Amino acid sequence: MAVPKRKMSRANTRTRRSSWKAAPVQLVACSNRACRQLKPQHVACPTCGQYDGRQVVEPA
């Protein structure tokens, strides 16, 4: 098993951990011309129920 020879400094540890941030959800306009509500990418629109130009779920 690999064991580090030296203790990692606090600055190096914090620099490495600074990349572990949560990214905000990307919102895009719905492709349905009548709807145009913001929705997460690659998800059926919760307002109209369409995805990629076809009805996939019942609208809420």
pLDDT digits (tens, 9 = 90+) for 16-56: 999 898 889 999 999 999 999 999 999 999 999 999 999 99
Three-state DSSP class for 42?
coil
Domain ranges across the chain: 26-60
Residues 11 and 31: their CA atoms lie apart, in Å, by: 46
Using an 8 Å Cβ cutoff, are 15 and 30 in contact? no
Amino acid at 16: R
* pTM value > 0.75: no
How many CB atoms are closer than 10 A to CB 45?
23
Which two structure tokens, joined as six digits, stand for 17?
């951990």
Residues 16 and 10: their CA atoms lie apart, in Å, by: 10
